[in-house]
Structure 1
Amino acid sequence: MVTVRKSVLKGIVAASLVAVAGVGLSPATASADVTPVTLVNGVLSTVGGCQTTIRELIVFCTGAETLTRRSPLLLDLNPVGTNIVVLGAGLFDDGTMRDMLIDRLQAALYLAQRYPAAPIITSGGAPKSGVTEARAMRDWLVANGVHPGRITEEGRSGSTVQNAQFTSQILADRGATGVVVVSSANHVERAMIDFRVAVAGRMLVAGVIAAT
């Protein structure tokens, strides 16, 4: 296992902050000595500070980001190559969705409406009454105006790690350049770490927090 000293990690984050300044963005603080580093949503993702194969660096860099409900910069820069991935949460026994999952879908719907060129992936298996999380999410998005042709279902995964692994293959097959992971506040950071590990530095990963 590769071990990276914290001073090295801070140096990489500092370099990312210099890159942020170079493109005219305004982080709330420019000091890599502050952990976590407070940034507008997705800046470290966009400048590549978290694009690596080293898990320790992924964990540190992800923890240094400020994750919000706002649209990540990644979608503004490249909406066509960036996929919106909304992660499932356990369905009720009758196949209907919990409020937590509907909150995630509301956040994904906002992004879908603001960035109509961005493809969408619903990720989650764990079927109840014959309905997977991915299918329940797809049906909700379609019912709320999203064209079904934009949505790909990943309905095999039973964990966040599998969400990342199975979805990363879909992303690679379609030549995606980035992904925005949508999940609940207590889950987004872990999900981003798993996605960053799964894509192994091949694309940018950002995140959006749902209302709950």
Structure 2
Amino acid sequence: MAVAALVATAGVVMAPSAHADVTPTTIVNGILSTFGGCQSPIKSLIVQCTEAETLTAQSPVMLDLNPIGTNIVVLGAGLFDDGTMRPLLVDRLDAALTLARKYPTAPIITSGGAPKSGVTEAQAMRNWLVSNGIPEDRITEEGRSGSTVENADNTARILADRGATGVVVVSSNDHVERAMIDFRDAVAGSIPVAGVIAAP
């Protein structure tokens, strides 16, 4: 009933599929991300609304409502000096891979610069996703960022250029809230932003 109400309120004609993690948490987070102040151009409202959300590893409802227009963005974490990935980053990729498999039409953006041994975080993440069965043409690299704010600003331009209608930011438990605030600020209320935490 709550999902139907959310769909009706959003004016979306597509019914949610069986993929969604439909729980009180995902419904409340979905409402906050679209109608509760999180989708705002006002930074103070974004911060207040984001702090009211419950961080979760569950799939956001927006991926079921619009799995083609909603982009999955996985954020980098510093590589080792030899260009290999830290366990923290592999955890983020595992969470992104779960979403990518569940929603095979959702585009993916790997975001992170800081090259080590000639490899950016975005490249390393893309290579890992491809080696785990995700088609190359589904993944866009954003490999210029050196901070979360830059991740958000650079990715927001990609999202705008492709006409994205939503974004799900995947990061670590201690990072995703700040990342959601930065992404919500970067898109200035133009599209909803949700977050998914990676299990350690």
Q: TM-score, normalised by structure 2?
A: 0.87
The match for 2:98 is 110
1:140 counterpart = 2:125: no
Question: Within 5 Å, which residues of 2 pair with 1:15-26?
Answer: none
| Displacement after TM superposition at 1:199 (Å) | 0.2
Question: Within 5 Å, which residues of 2 pair with 1:22-41?
Answer: 27=24, 40-41=28-29
| Displacement after TM superposition at 1:21 (Å) | 10
User: Aligned in 2, Cα 1:116/1:21: closer, same or farther, shift over 3 Å?
Assistant: closer
The match for 2:70 is 82
Q: What stretches of structure 2 of length at least 5 have no aligned partner?
A: 10-21
AA aligned to 2:57 is R
The match for 2:117 is 129
| Counterpart-to-counterpart distance in 1, 2:187 and 2:125 | 23
Q: What stretches of structure 1 of length at least 5 have no aligned partner?
A: 1-18, 29-37
- Percent identity of the aligned residues? 74
SS in 2 for 1:42: helix
The answer (yes or no) to whether the contact 2:27–2:61 under 8 Å persists in 1 is no
Which fold has the larger relative contact order, with Cα–Cα distance below 8 Å and residues 6 or more apart in sequence?
2
| Counterpart-to-counterpart distance in 1, 2:55 and 2:27 | 8
Q: Which of residues 145, 157, 161 is equivalent to 1:169?
A: 157
| Displacement after TM superposition at 1:191 (Å) | 0.1
SS in 1 for 2:48: helix
| Counterpart-to-counterpart distance in 2, 1:197 and 1:114 | 28
Structure with larger Rg: 1
The answer (yes or no) to whether the contact 1:42–1:67 under 8 Å persists in 2 is no
Q: Which of residues 81, 89, 93 is equivalent to 1:93?
A: 81
The match for 1:73 is 61
Return structure 1 stretches of 4+ with deviation > 2 angstroms.
19-23, 25-28, 38-43, 46-49
| Counterpart-to-counterpart distance in 2, 1:21 and 1:74 | 10
| Displacement after TM superposition at 1:67 (Å) | 1.6
Count of residue pairs brought into register by the alignment? 184
